[in-house]
Structure 1
Amino acid sequence: MTDTKSPLRIDIVSDVMCPWCVIGYRQLATALEASDVDHEIHWHPFELNPNMPPEGQDIGEHLAEKYGTTPEQSADNRAMMTARGKELGFEFNFADGFRMHNTFNTHQLLHWANEVGRKSDLKQALFTAHFTHGRNLSDDAVLVEIADAIGLGAVDAKAVLEDQRFAAVVRQEQQFWIQQGINGVPTFIFERQHLVTGAQSVENFKSILTQLQHQDA
């Protein structure tokens, strides 16, 4: 008899400005590989700072303003994330002058990439551009370069950003997730019903995957 069981659906609500989204995804990917679970991942937009101006903001100033984080706490957190990233094969480079940026256009470009099956590829490229290379993701020219570098095509990417054709649908999708009670990222939803918030450890993700497999057995 042919096994027609559908792949495990995993929805991830995230923002490319979120370092824990990188860490959480990498930990999930490690757990999925170890568990050998057939799966499909769907990325969804969330803006941590929808009112961020185009010029962005220094990360230390941003964290102090938004969360009351002291310079010492900020440095400790960045060191911890850098170490965690290294364990997972991702390079965080929080150099002096590292800035947070507005991400509305990145989400529009990601929506477009999804139409040609390249959303996850672009998502990873954007994470690397921001956290490893410190590129300005609120600069449309930079976004076009990143899209072109992974083979999506500069002309089409530029057109998507210039005419803002996906602005309304991205706003609508962001609002949908907010209405579901999601106010922070990363958020993982398994099989449209099991919601997990935050960057869980590899072991926690393995446990979740095991429970889901047992439910389907």
Structure 2
Amino acid sequence: MTDQQAIRVDVVSDVVCPWCFLGQKRLDQAIAASGVDVAVHWRPFQLDATIPAGGMDRKAYMNAKFGSEERVREAHGRLEALGQAAGIDYAFDAITVSPNTLDAHRTIRWAGSAGPEVQNRLVRGLFSAYFERGLNIGDPAVLADAAAAAGMDRSVVESLLAGDADRDAVSEEAATASRMGITGVPCFLFEGKYAVMGAQEASTLTDAIRQIAAAKARGELDAAG
């Protein structure tokens, strides 16, 4: 590319957020369409950090959150239609557990140490495991499987999950996102300067990527900083 430059996108998300899964798919589409070299990094956010470590019954949890089964079905129906267009086969009925996602975010953090590609493979795998296969991504065995599939060392991940490594760091990073004013996810942070909230259409994200890459190439981001 002649007038554009590689950029960084930090995605603040939770792996039990269906809109974040949709956002991940649309971001992938946007990057492919943009022609820009984009490094994606995933940042933690917990939609509900009060869920116990063992998780909660998904049906009861969702009914309490939305107020009725009918409202849950309406929300799921809308997402299923949007998901189909993005290549997601949401299987909400297959999900039996609403997990606490702290361990999932710890695993994602460790994947980031291995590089953006490993982290992206893990995040994609966790979204699919939860929303398309109904797996409990709060279960250490499920997390270890996903980590191994992403190219991580399963035994190392199992050992880390059995201890308290990075619990405080992940919790603090999630709290920092809230203090920054991020109250909903996904949130896409471009070059640490510009935020795009919500699971925007791929075309919107494509435009943002191209504009910010072009501005970076012109040195405008440095000037703004």
Q: TM-score, normalised by structure 2?
A: 0.86
1:198 corresponds in structure 2 to 198
Q: 2:86 aligns with which of 88, 99, 106?
A: 88
Equivalent position of 1:138 in the other structure: 138
Tell me how far 1:167 sits from its aligned partner. Answer: 1.3
Q: In the alignment, residue 190 of structure 1 is paired with which amino acid?
A: F
- For residue 5 of structure 1, report the CA deviation from its aligned partner: 6.8
1:109 corresponds to which of 107, 110, 126: 107
Which contiguous aligned blocks of 4+ residues in structure 1 show a shift greater than 2 angstroms? 2-6, 54-66, 96-99, 148-151, 206-217
- The count of residues paired between Structure 1 and Structure 2 equals 215
Asked if structure 1 preserves the Cα contact closer than 8 Å seen for 2:186 and 2:199, the reply is yes
Q: CA deviation at 1:65?
A: 2.5
1:35 aligned partner: 34
Distance 1:96 1:168, change over 3 A: closer
Residues 67-216 of structure 1: pairs in structure 2 closer than 5 A: 68-95=66-93, 98-117=96-115, 118-216=118-216
Q: Name the aligned partner's letter for residue 17 of structure 1.
A: V
Question: For 2:85 and 2:32, how far apart are their aligned partners in 1?
Answer: 16
**One-letter identity of the residue aligned with 2:120:** S
Structure 2's unaligned 5+ residue stretches are 219-225
Residue 3 of structure 1 deviates from its aligned partner by: 7.2
CA apart distance, 1:145: 2.0
Q: Is the 8 A contact 2:7 2:213 kept in 1?
A: no
Distance, in Å, in 2 between the alignment partners of 1:112 and 1:210 is 30
What is the CA RMSD across the aligned residues, in angstroms?
2.2
Deviation at 1:60, TM superposition (A): 4.1
SS at match of 1:112: helix
Pairwise CA distance, 1:46 = 0.7
Q: In 1, distance between residues paired with 2:213 and 2:86?
A: 25
d(CA) in 2 for partners of 1:113 and 1:132?
Answer: 22
Shifted more, 114-123 versus 68-77: the winner is 68-77
